[in-house]
Structures are given as structure tokens and as C-alpha cells.
């Protein structure tokens, strides 16, 4: 039965890959915004060069130069696509000699981006295949002001046509280092950070619910967001303490990606805090006594 199950899985993966090769998927994750025409330029190349391509806009709203937000988006939105998917990620500063443009193959998918810390943050020390792009530009030009158009598109077209990684460029020896902000426990306190803010104003922290529960170890807690104290994790946005009172409408819940999230029912946390919460803003958690009835872990209320 086990052999049959493995064979079935391999057959399903092959079927999905074949379909994806016939109708390739290319996703776009960028900080271009929605005012300019950059997405249209890139899509024009992709639709003109790749038959039956399906272009998926993950987002063009990543905050500029915020690599941590880009990591959060790619990790939670891109990695669930089928094998053969090509991801174009353009969230960085201009290229320099220390940050080459690369393609990373991971779990059957391709990630085209700059080696600016993003690949290290996404894949760590996992065994991946990566090459520095060396295929020339999509258009003949001496200028490199729009890498996604001039370089990434050409690599994406080649991959969609079945090119091997070795056809794209030379192997990457080591990714550029990246040191993300991680939750820190010191003197009985947990210091975590805002890693992502969505259009609703919900602030996602850089700690998962499971990680938080492991650190909490059945203890009471006070999570402080500036002057606001939260003492429980609720199941949904409708479980605010008092939706009519803006302060009491602030709640702590778990996002769809499994991370702790500070949110408000019917309001935006950015509206409540005036100028709004900021990326990388710290959030402190204080711990108290163990709750005896939580022998089996804290249930969501």
C-alpha cells in the first residue's frame, strides 16, 4: 500500500507538472505599486512570449525596501503553487556587484529575484538549486533600470520553454546573508515585532501561534501594543471585547498563515494608533503564573 501511495503521489505530481508546462503559471510579487505601468510592461512580455501563460498578481503593494514584508508574502502566498510555477519577485534596491540576479529552484518551483537576502530568508540552508542569471537582456539596451522587464522576463520565458537551470546561468555558491528580526525572550519577557501590515490595518507579528504557546507554557500573559494590553487570543475578528468601544475593539488573534495578529473589528489598528503601527515596531509580552486548568494547552476563546 505504501508503494502504491508513493506511486500515486508521483503520478499526480507529474500530471500537475505536465498541465503547468502546457499552461505555465508566472506570479508577480513586487513593490511597484498600482499607479505606474510597470506591471503592464512585464505582463505584455510574458503574454507575448509564453503561449497559454497564466499570470497571477500576488501583490504589487509590498512596502518599498521592506525585505521582511516580501519574505512574509512569498512564504505564505507563493509556496503553495504547483510544481513548475515561476515566481518573479522584485522588491529591492538597485543591483550591484554584491547582489546578482538569480533563479532558485525549490520544491519544483522557480523563484526569480535578486540575491539580496530574500533567498536566504526563504530557504535557509535547505538544499536548493540556484544559478546567477546570465542570458542577456530581453531587449538590447545598455541600461539596467528595470530588471524585471530586462532580465527576469527572459529567464521566465526560457524556464517556461523547458530550459534547464544550467541554461540560465552559473551555480550560486552561497546566498547573501540575511538577519531577520526574531522573537527574543529575555528576563521573562518576550519581545516580538510587527512583520506585516495588511490593507485592513491588521498587524501580523513575527511569531506563530504555536511558537507563542510553546514559550507561554500555560502561563497568563499581557501583550502590550503601545498603551493597549491584550490578555487572550480569540478565534476570530468578531470576538472583540466591545465593538462599540474603539479601544476595546482591539484584539489578538491568529492570521490565516498561523502568525499572531493584532487586529480590530470594524476599525483599522492604523486608524486607532494615529500614524499607525510601523513595520519592525516591537511588541512586548509579559508572563505571569501558570493557569492550572490549561494542562492540555490554551483553547482559543
pLDDT digits 0-9 by tens, 270-285: 667 766 678 888 999 9
Measure the CA–CA gap between 193 and 182, rounded to whole angstroms.
8
Q: Which residues contact 119 (CB under 8 A, 6 or more apart)?
A: 102, 104, 111, 113, 128, 130, 175, 176
Give yes or no: residues 71 and 201 share one domain: no
Q: Supply the range of the domain harboring residue 206.
A: 184-290
Q: 18: domain CATH number?
A: 3.40.50.10790
Q: 276: domain CATH number?
A: 2.40.30.90
Give yes or no: residues 191 and 162 share one domain: no
Give yes or no: residues 77 and 142 share one domain: yes
Give yes or no: residues 124 and 52 share one domain: yes
Q: Which residues of 114-132 are buried (b: 16+ CB within 10 A; e: fewer)?
A: bbbbbbbbbbeeeebebbe
pLDDT at residue 188, as a whole number: 84
Q: Does a structural domain hold residue 230?
A: yes
1 pLDDT band, cuts 50/70/90, is very low
pLDDT at residue 269, as a whole number: 74
pLDDT at residue 55, as a whole number: 98
For residue 236, which phi and psi values (nearest 5 degrees)?
-150, 175
DSSP-derived letter for residue 50 is: S
Give yes or no: residues 72 and 138 share one domain: yes
Give yes or no: residues 42 and 167 share one domain: yes
Q: Does a structural domain hold residue 178?
A: no
Q: Does a structural domain hold residue 136?
A: yes
Percent of the chain with pLDDT over 70: 80
Give yes or no: residues 160 and 18 share one domain: yes
Q: What length does the chain have?
A: 301
pLDDT at residue 299, as a whole number: 41
Average pLDDT, the chain: 84
Q: Does a structural domain hold residue 300?
A: no
More confident residue, 170 or 96: 170
Q: In terms of C-beta density within 10 A (0-12 exposed, 13-18 middle, 19 or more buried), how is residue 197 classed? A: buried
Give yes or no: residues 129 and 19 share one domain: yes
pLDDT digits 0-9 by tens, 22-47: 899 999 999 999 999 999 999 999 99
Q: Does a structural domain hold residue 6?
A: yes
Number of domains in the chain: 2
182 pLDDT band, cuts 50/70/90, is confident
pLDDT digits 0-9 by tens, 120-133: 999 988 879 999 99
Is 16's pLDDT higher than 70? no
pLDDT at residue 300, as a whole number: 41
Mean pLDDT to the nearest integer, 207-233: 93
Give yes or no: residues 26 and 153 share one domain: yes
pLDDT at residue 181, as a whole number: 80
Q: Residue 90 in contact with residue 38, Cβ under 8 Å?
A: no
Q: Does a structural domain hold residue 112?
A: yes
Is 95's pLDDT higher than 90? no
Give yes or no: residues 229 and 284 share one domain: yes
Is 167's pLDDT higher than 90? yes
pLDDT at residue 246, as a whole number: 60
Amino acid at each position: 500500500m505504501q508503494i502504491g501511495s508513493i506511486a500515486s503521489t508521483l503520478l499526480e505530481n507529474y500530471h500537475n507538472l505536465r498541465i503547468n508546462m502546457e499552461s505555465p503559471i508566472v506570479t508577480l510579487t513586487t513593490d511597484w505599486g498600482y499607479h505606474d505601468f510597470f506591471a503592464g510592461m512585464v505582463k505584455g512580455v510574458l503574454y507575448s512570449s509564453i503561449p497559454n501563460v497564466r499570470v497571477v498578481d500576488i501583490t504589487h503593494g509590498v512596502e518599498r525596501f521592506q525585505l521582511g514584508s516580501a519574505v512574509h508574502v512569498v512564504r505564505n502566498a507563493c509556496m503553495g503553487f504547483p510544481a513548475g510555477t515561476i515566481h518573479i519577485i522584485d522588491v529591492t534596491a538597485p543591483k550591484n556587484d554584491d547582489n546578482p540576479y538569480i533563479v532558485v529552484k525549490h520544491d519544483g518551483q522557480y523563484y526569480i529575484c535578486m540575491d539580496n537576502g530574500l533567498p536566504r530568508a526563504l530557504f535557509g540552508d535547505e538544499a536548493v538549486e540556484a544559478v546567477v542569471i546570465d542570458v542577456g537582456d530581453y531587449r538590447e539596451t545598455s541600461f539596467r533600470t528595470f530588471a524585471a522587464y530586462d532580465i527576469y522576463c527572459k529567464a521566465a520565458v526560457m524556464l517556461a520553454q523547458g530550459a534547464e537551470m544550467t541554461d540560465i546561468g552559473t551555480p550560486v555558491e552561497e546566498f547573501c546573508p540575511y538577519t531577520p528580526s526574531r522573537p527574543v525572550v529575555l528576563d521573562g519577557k518576550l519581545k516580538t515585532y510587527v512583520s506585516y501590515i495588511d490593507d485592513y490595518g491588521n498587524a501580523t507579528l513575527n511569531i506563530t501561534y504555536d511558537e507563542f504557546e510553546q514559550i507561554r507554557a500555560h502561563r497568563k500573559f499581557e501583550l502590550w501594543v503601545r498603551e493597549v494590553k491584550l490578555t487572550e487570543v480569540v478565534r476570530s475578528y468578531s470576538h472583540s471585547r466591545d465593538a462599540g468601544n474603539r479601544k476595546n475593539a482591539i484584539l489578538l488573534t491568529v492570521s490565516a498563515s498561523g502568525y499572531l495578529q493584532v487586529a480590530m473589528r470594524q476599525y483599522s489598528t492604523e486608524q486607532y494608533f494615529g500614524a499607525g503601527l510601523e513595520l519592525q515596531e516591537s511588541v512586548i509580552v509579559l508572563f505571569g503564573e501558570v493557569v492550572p486548568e490549561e494542562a492540555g494547552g490554551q483553547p482559543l476563546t
